[in-house]
């Protein structure tokens, strides 16, 4: 679908638009030429996908100054990352300070952990 007028897109929390130059082409190339999951099998497409993922991890580590790429965690998005961090960091009987403006992606796991770990949300 070709858009004929300029769009100003403000919902960048959900996605980005327009995509950075080269991104649509790279995704299309991957889907057309590889289309496999990394690390799921020993066939050539899976190995190629694993190499691409490894190169991306190494690139991100250089960008963020991470020495060991095993310390970089990639998730499907912010909600999964927030859940992973909160579940991993908050100890039994935790106390968290937040506001009524906090995003639902933070509040839901906090409320769950409040019950599961007998924590306190202030």
| Residue (of 17, 12, 28) closest to 77 by Cα position | 12
Domain that holds residue 109: 78-121
Residue 49 sits in the same domain as residue 66: yes
Residue 102 sits in the same domain as residue 116: yes
State the total domains in the chain. Answer: 2
pTM: 0.70
Residue 54 sits in the same domain as residue 101: no
CA–CA distance, 102 with 122 (Å, rounded to integer): 12
- Contact status, residue 96 vs residue 120, Cβ threshold 8 Å: yes
Residue 45 sits in the same domain as residue 83: no
CA–CA distance, 101 with 107 (Å, rounded to integer): 10
Residue 83 sits in the same domain as residue 55: no
Residue 82 sits in the same domain as residue 67: no
Residue 20 sits in the same domain as residue 57: yes
Tens place of pLDDT per residue across the chain (122 aa) = 676 777 777 776 677 788 889 999 999 999 999 999 998 889 999 999 999 999 999 999 999 999 999 999 999 888 999 999 999 999 999 999 999 999 999 999 999 999 999 999 99
């Amino acid at each position: 679908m070709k858009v004929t007028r300029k769009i100003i897109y403000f919902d960048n929390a959900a996605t980005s638009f327009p995509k950075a130059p080269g991104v649509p082409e790279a995704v299309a190339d991957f889907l057309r030429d590889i289309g496999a999951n990394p690390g799921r099998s020993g066939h050539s497409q899976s190995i190629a996908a694993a190499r691409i993922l490894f190169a991306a991890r190494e690139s991100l580590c250089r960008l963020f100054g991470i020495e060991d790429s095993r310390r970089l965690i990639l998730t499907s998005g912010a909600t999964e990352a927030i859940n992973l961090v909160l579940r991993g960091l908050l100890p039994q009987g935790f106390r968290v300070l937040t506001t009524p403006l906090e995003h639902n992606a933070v509040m839901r796991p906090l409320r769950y952990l409040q019950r599961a770990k007998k924590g306190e949300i202030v």
